[in-house]
């Protein structure tokens, strides 16, 4: 296995976005919106393996938005109240898995996955 030199500047934006997504759990999702904007800005000029991370981050935002809408709608009939913790766990696990991969200098294992 060969070691690749990865400049810190290249991996810093995805790590910041993962942190913003995790912070979204306590900031009423405002930091998620900031994170997805940053992901859209940086995705074109990134290395191919980092482009996979940006795709993963952007998909996380949009899938999370869909899951949020479904959970909110189901909460109106009280079924969705059980889904809020699952949604938080989904976001947390997805961000941690991606963050660990970027720290290792690898693309996310399954960037097209709806889970993690």
50-67 pLDDT, tens digit per residue, is 999 999 999 999 999 999
pLDDT tens-digit series, residues 24-50:
988 878 899 999 999 999 999 999 899
- Predicted structure pTM score: 0.86
Contacts for 46 with CB less than 8 Å, ≥ 6 apart: 10, 53, 54
Band of pLDDT at residue 1, cut at 50, 70 and 90: very low
Q: How many CA within 13 A on the CB side of residue 57? A: 35
Q: For residue 74, what pLDDT is reported? A: 92
Q: For residue 98, what pLDDT is reported? A: 94
């Amino acid at each position: 296995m060969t070691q690749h030199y990865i400049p810190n500047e290249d991996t810093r934006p995805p790590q910041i976005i993962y942190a913003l997504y995790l912070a979204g759990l306590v900031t009423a999702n405002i930091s998620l919106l900031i994170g997805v904007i940053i992901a859209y800005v940086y995705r074109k000029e990134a290395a191919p393996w980092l482009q996979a991370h940006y795709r993963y981050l952007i998909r996380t935002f949009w899938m999370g938005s869909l899951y949020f809408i479904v959970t909110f709608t189901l909460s109106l009939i009280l079924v969705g109240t059980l889904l809020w913790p699952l949604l938080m766990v989904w976001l947390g696990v997805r961000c941690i898995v991606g963050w660990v991969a970027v720290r290792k200098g690898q693309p996310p294992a399954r960037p097209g996955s709806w889970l993690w």
